[in-house]
Amino acid sequence: MKLPKVIDFRGFLSFLILHELNGKRLCGDELAKIIGSRKAGKLTPGTIYPALKKLRKAKLVYVRQTGRKKNYYLTKRGKKELRITYRLFGNIFCGLKNKIKDSRTA
C-alpha cells in the first residue's frame, strides 16, 4: 500500500484538515473551531495556518479568496491522499481491534 506523502503520524492535524475539507469549503477559523472542538478548545492561528500552508505547498488544498475571507478546498490530489489515508488508518485500526479481541480471549 502506498503511504501518504504529507500526513505524518506525529500528529493528526493534516489528516483532520483534509477530513474536514472533504466535500466542504471552510476558512481557517472554521477549521480551527471544528478541529479544536474535538480537543475541547479552539486551535490557535499559529497551529492551523502553518498546517494549511504545508497542505497548499503539497497541492492537497487550494484557497479562494473572497474579500478578506479565504476558503480552503481539497484538490483532486488531496482527495486521493485522503482516500489513501482512510484505507491506511482502516488497516491499522482494524488490525489493532483484532489484536485486542485476541488478547481478551487468550
Residue 7 lies in a domain: no
Q: Which three cell numbers stand for residue 36?
A: 479544536
| Containing structural domain, residue 69 | 13-105
Tens-digit pLDDT profile for residues 32-82: 999 888 766 777 888 899 999 999 999 999 999 999 999 999 999 999 999
Residue 26 lies in a domain: yes
Residue 83 lies in a domain: yes
Contact call for residues 53 and 63 (beta carbons, < 8 A) = no
Contact call for residues 49 and 28 (beta carbons, < 8 A) = yes
Sign of the alpha-carbon dihedral angle for 80, 81, 82, 83: positive
So what's the pLDDT on residue 99?
66
User: Which SS3 state, helix, strand or coil, does residue 25 take?
Assistant: coil
So what's the pLDDT on residue 12?
81
Residue 4 lies in a domain: no
Which has the closest alpha carbon to 61: 14, 29, 9?
14
CATH number at residue 49: 1.10.10.10
| pTM of this prediction exceeds 0.95 | no
Identify the residue with better confidence: 6 or 87.
87
So what's the pLDDT on residue 9?
46
Amino acid at site 77: R
CA distance 18 to 41: 19
Q: What percent of the chain has pLDDT over 70?
A: 75
Contact call for residues 74 and 14 (beta carbons, < 8 A) = no
pLDDT class of 83 with cuts at 50, 70, 90: very high
Residue 6 lies in a domain: no
Residue 2 lies in a domain: no
